[in-house]
Amino acid sequence: MGKQYYTITYGCQMNESDTERINGQLAELGYTEAPAMEAADIVILNTCSIRQNAEEKVYGKIGEIKRMKEKNPDLLVGIMGCMAQENKEKLIARMPIIDFVLGPYHIHDLKEVVTEALAGRRHVVRTRMNPERVKDYSELHAARKSHIFAWVPIMQGCNKFCTYCIVPYVRGRQTSRTVEDITGEVRQLAAEGYKEITLLGQNVNSYGLDFRDGTDFGALIRALDEVEGIERVRYMTSHPRDMTFAMVDAMAASPKVARHMHLPVQHGDNEMLRRMNRGYTIEHFMELLSYVRQKMPDIVVTTDLITGFPGETEEMHKATLRLLREAQFDSAYTFIYSPRQGTPAARMEDQIGDDVKHRRLQELMDVENEISLAKNRAMEGKVYPILVEGPTKQDESRWYGRTSGNKMIIFPKTEGVFVGDVRDALVEQGQTWVLKGRLV
Ligand code: SAH
Ligand code: SF4
Ligand code: F3S
């Protein structure tokens, strides 16, 4: 039996995408994917630092791997992703069972580092931020899981420095891939039969601004519109600050751009937004939102919220509850503020206690769940084209697909319907998180 790898991904879609390229490198070394961690010759954790609980999961997993390594000293263990960048040498000092630590800019080095580790060179740490590497992204073979959907990173890093966020420290400054490089990859994907791509960046709306030559996200959208074979273009995440009305026009003009926008607002109070360094006001956000909905009336808008940010009063919290009712998001990801070492908010004095944070989180979720349910119920009796994704995890006889707005519709498995087909689905029942229906 050949050698096998097992990679575990934590965190955002950018990490999901990086994992495919990590696995691609291992495949080039002759490894195949192990069915379970216990069967692997190399285990890689592609880690996330966004919140404390994300890091704790990784430390727990390393404990598990340590026991595996006691039984099998030849097992190779690598830590990659954002915790690798954040903790550098400290990881190995604390946990010497780790054989190598590679930051997000070092996927290119993986083959060399693994080859050397097999020859006995352990405890390698590479975390230099090298923006040049972003240009060579397409050189990295990606072992993609799906043959229909593909992640396409369009940029790396972030310049926004929201006061709570660790991303600018672990992913470095914003560096965009060129329009030619991205369209080249997408054309290739189309030729291979991919139907849907998701453009990835911390702030897709800042795409291209680092070139300082007029390139922006709107220009990329227009260029991708011309690639034949791709049915849908998704993108994540949008930042309210750099999203211009012209960009919204470019999205609205493109029939391929999915009618879903993930637009994190984070909070409903202007003083909180200022302390978070978000760079917009609620008034601006609402104006943008109404323009987006005016241009694309069928658009599904989702958001992120942070509760319990330092200094958040009961009044400020109520402002977020009010915002939810006003903005009518289709869904909201709500997070309890987690202090990240080295960020300005972690040093702010008026930190909020855990009990209050949990109560506020629950209140936000209660309000939003009601709205999500009402929105999904309003879809009952209507027909939506969906891109068929295949059987649900729980039940082989029930399949699902997604609308352009990224809503999941579950339907009974139907003769002659295949993964990747675009079919019309009638919504029969809207629930908080999913819709149930049948193909028509
Ligand atoms: N670039 C995206 C967000 C990426 S992080 C944007 O600016 O919108 C994804 C989400 O994690 C953020 O939207 C925020 O809601 C949450 N988040 C980031 N740092 C956090 C922290 N320290 N504590 C709690 N939630 C956090
Ligand atoms: Fe973090 Fe803000 Fe950058 Fe988003 S925009 S990644 S929240 S610093
Ligand atoms: Fe986490 Fe890094 Fe993404 S911190 S959310 S994996 S960019």
- Measuring from each residue's beta carbon to the nearest atom of ligand 2, which residues come in under 6 Å? 158, 160-162, 165, 167-168, 202-203, 239
Angle, helices 314-327 vs 282-295, to 10°: value is 10
Beta pairing, strands 331-336 & 383-391 = unpaired
Sheet (strand 260-262) strand order: 260-262, 300-307, 331-336
Ligand at minimal distance from the CA of 266 is 1
Bridge partners (DSSP) listed for residue 200: 153, 236
CA of 202 to the centre of ligand 2 (A): 7
CA of 358 to the centre of ligand 2 (A): 23
pLDDT value of position 43: 98
What would the two tokens of residue 106 be? Answer: 């070092």
Cα dist. 62→19, 57, 66, 433 in Å? 18, 9, 6, 33
pLDDT value of position 136: 85
CA of 49 to the centre of ligand 3 (A): 6
CA of 27 to the centre of ligand 1 (A): 32
What would the two tokens of residue 196 be? Answer: 């849907």
pLDDT value of position 138: 87
Q: Which residues in the chain come in under a pLDDT of 50?
A: none
What would the two tokens of residue 93 be? Answer: 């000092």
pLDDT value of position 1: 67
List, in sequence order, every beta strand (DSSP E) within 147-286. 149-153, 155-156, 175-176, 196-200, 232-236, 260-262
Judge if the beta carbon of residue 303 lies within 6 A of ligand 1.
no
Q: Quick check: 169 and 184 in contact, CB under 8 A?
A: no
Judge if the beta carbon of residue 307 lies within 6 A of ligand 1.
no
Residue whose Cα lies nearest atom 2 of ligand 2: it is: 162
Which candidate, 140, 137, 133, 139, places its Cα nearest to that of 172? Answer: 133
pTM: 0.96
> Quick one: which atom of ligand 1 is closest to the CA of 162?
7
Ligand at minimal distance from the CA of 15 is 3
**Buried (b) or exposed (e) across 234-243, using 16+ Cβ within 10 A?**
bbbbbbbebb
Which DSSP letter does residue 231 get? Answer: -
Ligand at minimal distance from the CA of 170 is 3
- Alpha-carbon distance 274 to 281, whole Å? 8
Torsion, Cα of 154, 238, 253, 388 (10° steps): 80
Judge if the beta carbon of residue 337 lies within 6 A of ligand 1.
yes
- Alpha-carbon distance 420 to 194, whole Å? 8
- Alpha-carbon distance 252 to 243, whole Å? 13
First-residue to last-residue Cα distance in the chain: 47
Write the single-letter amino acid at 394. Q
Residue whose Cα lies nearest atom 5 of ligand 2: it is: 160
pLDDT value of position 135: 83
CA of 82 to the centre of ligand 3 (A): 6
- Measuring from each residue's beta carbon to the nearest atom of ligand 3, which residues come in under 6 Å? 11-12, 14-15, 48-50, 81-82, 166-167, 170-171
Mutate to test the pocket of ligand 1, among 202, 242, 261, 304 (most ligand atoms within 8 A of CB): 304
Mutate to test the pocket of ligand 1, among 15, 50, 155 (most ligand atoms within 8 A of CB): 50
What would the two tokens of residue 41 be? Answer: 């010759």
